[in-house]
């Protein structure tokens, strides 16, 4: 499958970001993948994209450092120019942080880090990228099934993702007149290295989660990547301001 589209996938040095980049590349989309400092990880993503016949380039982006966004968008524009264009078609805002703990253990720094990265960073990155978005572009913000159900010690992270969903709906209305769609996708429990890899490596924890999921198992990263690529496709071009949960029916 071929495509002239170009996607930016943040936090693509591992996990869901890497899976999204590969899934998009499989569908013929050229991908720009970012990392905060894991150059080896993002290089592996580039190699895996190339292995499926895709094209990728890596850029460094620290979502918590809003002051760096001007230089990042300049570097991004340079890369787009090397690819013969000046526009992005798809943005997958996957990068984020999770710090978990009960109410009494959460520090001000923890709170500021999570909200500053997941909400402040996401908002101002979108603001920075709007001039580069093509007519009909699609912004996909990665949220979490935790905005629907609860789990102990996740209050700050869940709140940050609920804010991302609210931003997505409002920005969909604001950017709609420019032909830009904005949606959020909410993965459920998935076997990645997020939160220390518990959902990937802890067999007992996986079994507990499986028992609370309609499809009876924890999700796999490529299933989330495929969902993101499907949401980005022309088949869903009439959808905007939507929250799409991909959780296997977790905690119904």
pLDDT in tens, 14-71: 999 999 999 999 999 999 999 999 999 999 999 999 999 999 999 999 999 999 999 9
Checking if the pLDDT of 201 tops 60, the result is no
**Second CATH level (architecture) for the domain 6-245:** 3-Layer(aba) Sandwich (3.40)
**CA pair distance 198, 92, nearest whole angstrom:** 24
Percent of the chain with pLDDT over 70: 95
Cα dist from 172 to 125, 136, 232, whole Å: 15, 12, 14
**Please, what is the end-to-end C-alpha distance for the chain in angstroms?**
36
Contact (Cβ atoms closer than 8 angstroms) between residue 36 and residue 61: yes
Apex 126 CA angle, 168 and 135, nearest 5:
85
Contact (Cβ atoms closer than 8 angstroms) between residue 199 and residue 191: yes
* C-alpha Rg value of the chain to the nearest Å: 17
pLDDT at 205: 75
Apex 183 CA angle, 135 and 5, nearest 5:
40
pLDDT in tens, 177-189: 999 999 999 999 9
**CA pair distance 17, 44, nearest whole angstrom:** 12
pLDDT at 196: 63
pTM: 0.95
Rounded to an integer, the average pLDDT of 158-187 is 98
Consecutive H or E run containing 241: none
pLDDT at 197: 60
Cα dist from 241 to 16, 84, 103, 167, 225, whole Å: 21, 31, 31, 9, 20
pLDDT at 209: 84
Report, as residue numbers or ranges, the catalytic residues.
157
**3-state class (DSSP) for residue 179:** coil
Q: Which residues lie closer than 8 Å to 194 by C-beta, 6 or more apart?
A: 15, 16, 98
Checking if the pLDDT of 235 tops 70, the result is yes
Q: Which residue ranges make up each domain of the chain? A: 6-245
Q: Do the bridges between strand 30-35 and strand 6-9 make them parallel or antiparallel, or are there none, so unpaired? A: parallel
pLDDT at 198: 58
Contact (Cβ atoms closer than 8 angstroms) between residue 97 and residue 118: yes
pLDDT in tens, 114-140: 999 999 999 999 999 999 999 999 999
Structure tokens at 107: 């520090």
């Amino acid at each position: 499958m071929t495509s002239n589209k170009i996607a930016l996938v943040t936090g693509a040095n591992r996990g869901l970001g890497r899976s999204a980049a590969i899934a998009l590349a499989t569908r013929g989309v050229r991908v720009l993948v970012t990392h905060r400092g894991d150059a080896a990880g993002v290089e592996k993503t580039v190699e895996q994209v190339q292995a499926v016949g895709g094209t990728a380039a890596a850029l460094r982006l620290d979502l918590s450092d809003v002051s760096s966004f001007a230089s990042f968008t300049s570097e991004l524009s340079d890369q787009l120019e090397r690819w013969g264009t000046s526009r992005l078609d798809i943005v997958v805002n996957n990068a984020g942080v999770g710090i978990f703990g009960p109410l009494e253990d959460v520090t001000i720094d923890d709170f500021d880090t999570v909200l500053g990265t997941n909400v402040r960073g996401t908002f101002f990155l979108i603001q920075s990228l709007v001039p580069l978005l093509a007519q009909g572009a699609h912004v996909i913000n990665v949220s979490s099934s935790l905005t629907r159900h609860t789990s102990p010690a996740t209050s700050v992270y869940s709140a940050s993702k609920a804010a991302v969903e609210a931003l997505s709906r409002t920005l969909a209305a604001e950017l709609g007149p420019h032909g830009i769609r904005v949606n959020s996708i909410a993965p459920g429990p998935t076997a990645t290295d997020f939160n220390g890899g518990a959902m990937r490596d802890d067999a007992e924890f996986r079994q507990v989660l499986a028992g609370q999921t309609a499809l009876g198992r924890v999700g796999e990263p490529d299933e989330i990547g495929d969902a993101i690529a499907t949401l980005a496709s022309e088949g869903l071009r009439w959808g905007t301001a939507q929250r799409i949960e991909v959780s296997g029916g977790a905690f119904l």
